Amino acid sequence: MIATNQQLSQEFIDLEHQHGAHNYHPLPVVLSKGKGVYVWDVEGKKYYDFLSAYSAVNQGHCHPKIIDAMTEQAQNLTLTSRAFFNDILGKYEAFTTQFFGFDKLLPMNTGAEAVETAIKLARKWGYEKKGIAQNDAKIVVCENNFHGRTTTIVSFSNDPVASKNFGPYTPGFVKIPYNDPEALEVQIKSDPNIVGFLVEPIQGEAGVYTPSDDYMAKVQHICNQNNVLFIADEIQTGIARTGSLLAVCGNCTCEAHCERQSTYSRPDILILGKALSGGAYPVSAVLADDAVMEVIGPGQHGSTFGGNPIAGAVAIAALEVVNEEYLSQNARALGDLFRSEMNNYIKNSNIVSSIRGKGLLNAILINDTEESSTAWDICVALKNNGLLAKPTHGNIIRFAPPLVMTQEQLLECVTIIITTLKQFES
């Protein structure tokens, strides 16, 4: 039953507006239920979720296996802090390091915390293993990066909205163009104080900017040759989103770490978040081999909630779902289908100029100026037609449904999207 008036939604929107900080600009829809690829608003209207909480809900909303693991653990033990051991953390670390093929895991909660952890780890490694002089370590990052919202992370953002008036900024970062291995090599060769290169395998927030297929392999080679840590932020691209377990796995569709992974590319430090919990709980992690991770000793880094038993139980279940339900392979097949269906439409479209992406992380470019409201208006129309997506950076709309989608559902979504876009054709 679909209520005809939106009064209830408006009440919730007004409540947030009145009492909450205005640090987001949400689409005007108020959700109260989710299951698999669907969410429902407070009036009972059903939508396809084409954002998946920025790729946190890869396993689908309220996946029964993940929710069971969470509720069962919640009744036994929720938090010990790391002052004591608990009977889940070790199991979670053993499972996850095996799953991704690294020696060690450092548990955190949010993505930004995991990025901060990776930065600290790389700097400390630089001083203790590479012999950099105190306070001279530098990390190379890319233009248009998005790695989170802490003061240090926004210090190396070139998005003025994210960084303006939050200074003074943390020093020690150098920016180079994305998808430009030569620029990386020149930068590294010209500066012996560089300890790491922090990069997203696909720039999600920047508008699903998808680099050349061999970019990650070249990056790894340059970093390895020059004793610089290759740090992959796979918070958005990881956990099957782009059609492989990690985006750095290239075209390998294995659902867990495999030997072939090393023939594609393998970072020295891997940063995970978002779908590591299937969206059920804030869980992030940094993975690395002993030669890097061993520079962190007791008391040098930590988090009260990092490595808590609920997080561990939830993350194991969330990764098992990726495996059991072949989410990488599904993301790959449906992503190919989605882009090909959309391209058929785009060749005769005036409103959409192109689609780009990998697996089920895609974006369409709207044929209008960055400042125009067209992408926003299209998202509002999509919402009215039963599909939720959000513009990213002006005239770009990201499409990232849960990976548990079926082909039939995807084709229905393509119909909704194309029908909606047709309303905007001139």
Ligand X SMILES: *Cc1c(COP(=O)(O)O)cnc(C)c1O
Residues noted as catalytic? 146, 233, 274
Backbone angles phi, psi at 110, to 5 degrees: -105, 165
Which range of residues in 41-49, 118-126, 174-182, 230-238 is near ligand X by CB under 6 A? Answer: 230-238
Contact between 320 and ligand X (CB under 6 A)? no
Closest CB to ligand X belongs to which residue?
A: 111
d(Cα 201, Cα 233) in Å, to the nearest integer? Answer: 7
Q: Compute the half-sphere exposure of residue 114: CA atoms within 13 Å on the CB side of its CA.
A: 30
Which residue of 61, 147, 358, 390 would you call a contact of ligand X, by CB under 6 A?
A: 147
Contact between 115 and ligand X (CB under 6 A)? yes
Going by the DSSP 8-state scheme, the letter that residue 238 receives in this structure is T
Torsion of CA 130, 131, 134, 140, to 10 degrees: -30
Q: Residue 193: exposed, middle, or buried by beta-carbon count in 10 A (0-12, 13-18, 19+)? A: middle
- In sequence order, which residues have a C-beta less than 8 Å from that of residue 367 and are 6 or more positions away? 349, 350, 351, 352, 353, 395
Q: How far apart are the first and last CA of the chain?
A: 35
Dihedral sign (CA 186, 189, 193, 195): positive
Which residue of 86, 236, 244, 395 would you call a contact of ligand X, by CB under 6 A?
A: 236
Which residue of 92, 99, 125, 146 would you call a contact of ligand X, by CB under 6 A?
A: 146
Torsion of CA 373, 158, 301, 225, to 10 degrees: 120
Contact between 54 and ligand X (CB under 6 A)? yes
| Minimum separation from the CB atom of position 302 to ligand X (A) | 17
Compare residues 148 and 335 and give the one whose CB is closer to ligand X.
148
d(Cα 312, Cα 69) in Å, to the nearest integer? Answer: 10
| Minimum separation from the CB atom of position 348 to ligand X (A) | 33
Which residue of 148, 201, 207, 279 would you call a contact of ligand X, by CB under 6 A?
A: 148
Of residues 256-275, those binding ligand X (CB under 6 A): 273
Compare residues 148 and 172 and give the one whose CB is closer to ligand X.
148
- Identity of residue 200: E
- In sequence order, which residues have a C-beta less than 8 Å from that of residue 261 and are 6 or more positions away? 101, 245, 246, 249, 252, 254
Which residue of 200, 320, 325, 341 would you call a contact of ligand X, by CB under 6 A?
A: 200
Which residue of 34, 60, 196, 204 would you call a contact of ligand X, by CB under 6 A?
A: 204
Smallest Cα–Cα separation from 198: which of 224, 165, 173, 162? 173
| Minimum separation from the CB atom of position 67 to ligand X (A) | 20
Count of residues engaged in binding ligand X, rule: CB under 6 A: 15
Compare residues 203 and 367 and give the one whose CB is closer to ligand X.
203
Q: Which two tokens stand for residue 4?
A: 């005809």
d(Cα 412, Cα 353) in Å, to the nearest integer? Answer: 22
Which range of residues in 22-30, 200-208, 218-226, 416-424 is near ligand X by CB under 6 A? Answer: 200-208
Contact between 233 and ligand X (CB under 6 A)? yes
Which range of residues in 190-198, 231-239, 300-308, 332-340 is near ligand X by CB under 6 A? Answer: 231-239
Contact between 235 and ligand X (CB under 6 A)? yes
Q: Which residues make up the interface to ligand X (CB under 6 A)?
A: 54, 110-112, 115, 146-148, 200, 204-205, 233, 235-236, 273
